[in-house]
Amino acid sequence: MQRCRKCGAYSDHVNIHFDRMGICNYCGFYEKHRNVLEQKTALKNTFLLKMEIGKAKARTSGSSYDCLAAFSGGKGSAYMIWQLKEVYHMRVLAFTFGTIGHKGILDRLDIDHITFSQKGPFSYPAYLHAIDRHSYLIAGQNKIPLILNGRSRAKILQYADTTTGTEPFETAHCLREYDKQIFHGAGLAYPAYLSDGTDLLDDIGAEAISYFAYHDICEKDMIRSLEEKFGWIRPQRSHGPSGARSLSKKGELAFLVRKGELTPDQAEKML
Ligand SMILES: [Zn+2]
């Protein structure tokens, strides 16, 4: 089986192909756009501008919140919500799909929180769509202009080989675009039944933004700062249907190799 000479990804990777030098399309994309993706200050400024525009829109529409933020109970979303509130001074409504046992951090930050659920069992695509759809519904009902998610950089960029539909180059402004972005990021084909469905909420507009597309912080620093500030303890349970994690792990590890944080051998051992 062919293997990328740079990141070590194999030819069974989602939609992978190789150039004459044996470098994969995902490494090619990362190299081409490294100057944007690693420009920390410029990315933070882009994010700040998006937040300020969101605040202005919320004031105009009379919304009680500037953004809706996904809270899974994991470190990424906890860190994001903390930063949204204390660094960007956003009025945040946090939401969780399903039940959650670990919301002390939201109480500490005095963040309003809602949970919602839908009867399962879910396939992984149906689960992803249900979360996206509910978030647009809530944003529409409350006139909230921004929907924030705490996907990791690896999740956002692991299968990126075009700037179209890829943050930070392009954001989604409706459920249809957001769904496509989330599916592409997870390495999944966009299910046809979603395109012809009547539940795509085309009348609701909100900008969907991934916090970590604009903030490059390593996992260790994130956990350490959460521990210091909140006495954070890593939740034990995993999120989403089983299998979802291992499905994406291969791509996420290849991304870390591309970025220079792991060697191909180290990534291989972690699988
Ligand atoms: Zn590669």
Binning the chain into helix, strand and coil, the percentages to the nearest 5 are 50, 10, 40
Centroid of ligand 1 to alpha carbon of 127 (angstroms): 29
20, part of any domain: no
- Give 241's pLDDT tier (boundaries 50, 70, 90): low
- Give 96's pLDDT tier (boundaries 50, 70, 90): very high
231, part of any domain: yes
Number of domains present in the structure of the chain: 1
Amino acid 268: pLDDT: 86
Indicate the helix (H) or strand (E) that contains 108. Answer: helix 104-108
Q: Write down the pTM of the prediction.
A: 0.92
Query: Stretch 207-234: mean pLDDT, rounded?
Result: 92
103, part of any domain: yes
**Tell me, what CATH number does 158's domain have?**
3.40.50.620
Cβ atoms of residues 71 and 81 within 8 Å: yes
List the shell of residues around ion ligand 1, using CB closer than 5 Å.
Answer: 4, 6-7, 9, 24, 27
Amino acid 103: pLDDT: 78
Axis-axis angle for helices 75-86, 219-230 (nearest 10): 70
13, part of any domain: no
104, part of any domain: yes
* The pLDDT of residue 25 is above 70: yes
Query: Stretch 115-119: mean pLDDT, rounded?
Result: 84
Centroid of ligand 1 to alpha carbon of 4 (angstroms): 5
Query: Stretch 217-241: mean pLDDT, rounded?
Result: 80
* The pLDDT of residue 99 is above 80: no
Centroid of ligand 1 to alpha carbon of 6 (angstroms): 5
Integer Cα distance of 129 and 137 in angstroms: 12
| Among candidate residues 235, 222, 229, the one with its CA nearest the CA of residue 80 | 222
218, part of any domain: yes
11, part of any domain: no
Centroid of ligand 1 to alpha carbon of 23 (angstroms): 5
The fraction of the chain above a pLDDT of 90, given in percent, is 68
State pLDDT tens for residues 52-71.
999 999 999 999 999 999 99
> For residue 68, what are the domain limits?
25-262
Centroid of ligand 1 to alpha carbon of 161 (angstroms): 11
| Among candidate residues 206, 214, 217, 158, the one with its CA nearest the CA of residue 182 | 158
Centroid of ligand 1 to alpha carbon of 74 (angstroms): 29
Characterise 63 by phi-psi region: left (phi > 0), alpha (psi -120 to 50), beta (else). Answer: beta
Cα–Cα distances in angstroms (integers) from residue 51 to residues 116, 133, 145, 186, 191, in the given order: 25, 22, 10, 26, 31
128, part of any domain: yes
State pLDDT tens for residues 163-199.
999 999 999 999 999 999 999 998 898 888 776 666 7
Looking at every residue in the chain, the average pLDDT score rounds to: 90
